[in-house]
A and B are shown apart, each in its own frame.
Chain A
Amino acid sequence: MGLYDFLAQYWPRLLTGAGITVAQFLLAAALGVAISLCMGLMKLSQNALLRGAAVTYIEIFRGTSLVVQLYWIFFVLPLFGLTIEKFTAGYLAVGMNIGAYGAELVRGGILSVPKGQWEAALAINMSPAQRMRRIILPQALVNMLPPWGNLMIELLKGTALVSLISVADLMFEARQINSSTFLSAQVFGAALLIYYVLARFLVTPFMRWLERHMARKLGRT
């Protein structure tokens, strides 16, 4: 069976799976960005306790395997009385993992804002919170967007792991089809193609657009 005939027959299932993959990606991305901001700011805090908490978080989620984290959230937490539905467990694990990497990008982006900007904000007597929110973060954001583009593509591909806890994403559907038809080349070929299209024609253009848009807002055109 050629790839074309294969797709003609199985595209509805693959499409449903791709929809779940996109949903997992969007939810994990939102969670990841929020965690990155929190942890990145905490890591730069004057308060040693906040700093310690951020370092611990980053060490745990960056230093251990995403699959193991996923299994912990889905299989181990219920043993402690915390049961999380598989769809939620999926994007929680992926988002929390990506948040640890993103925290370092946020921290780096903030530190990349020139010292003169911090001093000018202090000279007009802004509070540390105002300075961060109004002056530093908007500039830091622009500086950290290119590496975020990479991280988002990593995140998209990372969502394939949620199939291991039976979230019916693209990878899960592909494995199901494979186990009933044994058309391995066609099914995993199709999956490969769909992940590529999502990354290349959705995620990358969006991040490029965001970069251009933010650069324009900064007057750097």
Chain B
Amino acid sequence: MLDKTGFPLEMTGEDTPMVSFRKVRKSYGALTVLDDLDLDISAGEMVSIIGPSGSGKTTVLRMLMTLERINGGVIYVDGKPLTHMPKGGQLVPANQRHLRSRRADIGMCFQHFNLFPHLTALENCMEGPVQVLGLSKAEARDRSEELLEMVGMISKKDQHPSRLSGGQQQRVAIARALAMRPKVMLFDEVTSALDPEVIGEVTNVIRQLVSEHNLTMLMVTHQMGFARDISDRVCFFYGGRIEEQGPPAELFGNPQRERTQQFLSAVREAV
């Protein structure tokens, strides 16, 4: 069933993507950040977004996390509209209640970690499960400790974030997001604020997630080697659009568009 503007009220069928951007537009005043973005991400797919700064990469993640409102189009998660809700056979902009119910499918890690400074590593992970999901403290603790173990931070579980290095904080932040059991994980330049020698400890955790879990992941990164290694698909953003996308071997090995070639050669020179 379509709404009068041509967007489906719900996406059904076996090949329904986990995330679907349909003609999504985002602007700040006169500045258009994203222009009619169409992007589908399948369940379990790992998609990396690369591109020059100001190309709208981070905005894609922030809109999906509902940190930013969109100005046009519709975003679907798991077949259901995220930014809109069905009302009388039409899609209308989502209210807070709808956003809150749909947001549960999405988790996000930030460039600057944004751990809660007044809580320990363990409490950071337990906060959402206890307060939002309504788990008992014991259940939330078990779940959080398991995740802190996975990211290699169990020995620091009682430390406050101010006592942890950047790499350690980011690993706790990943555990905190996973504790909510999202279907989609978003990584927004999670290694950009880290010292070079600790980047590996964070990328290794993400690698492990890719190989051992069936999460759908969307990652904005400046680490071209990392994106090439672990992605199923890489999207090159330029000027608010996807300029080129494809499997990493093709996009990095044999880019078709001139802007992609320019960007990749500029990045290589910088390294």
Contact = CB atoms under 8 A, between A and B. Distances in A.
Given A125-B100, A134-B131, A120 B114 contact: yes
B252 interface: no
B131 A130 contact: yes
Interface in B125-184: 127-128, 131-132, 159-163, 173, 176-177, 180
Contacts of A135: 116, 127
A128 B103 CA distance: 14
A220 B117 contact: yes
B160 A123 contact: no
Contacts, number: 71
Interface in B177-221: 177, 180
A219 B65 contact: no
Nearest to B164: A219
B271 interface: no
Given A130-B132, A134-B131, A219-B161, A123 B118 contact: no
Contacts of B160: 218-219
B118 A116 contact: no
Contact of B114 (A116, A127, A134): A116
A122 interface: yes
B266 interface: no
Residue in A125, A126, A219 with the greatest tally of chain B CB atoms within 10 Å: A125
B162 A122 contact: no
Given A119-B110, A120-B110, A126 B128 contact: yes
A68 B217 CA distance: 63
Contact of A123 (B107, B112, B131, B161): B107
Interface residues of A, number: 23
A141 to B, nearest CB: 9
Given A120-B110, A122-B66, A125-B103, A217 B131 contact: no
Contacts of A134: 127, 131
Contacts of A220: 117, 162
Interface string A105-136: 00000000010110111111111101000110
B115 interface: yes
Contacts of B163: 219
Contacts of A139: 117-118
A138 B108 CA distance: 23
Given A124-B177, A218-B118, 13 more contacts: A116-B112, A121-B116, A122-B103, A124-B128, A124-B176, A125-B104, A125-B128, A128-B96, A218-B117, A219-B118, A219-B120, A219-B160, A220-B117
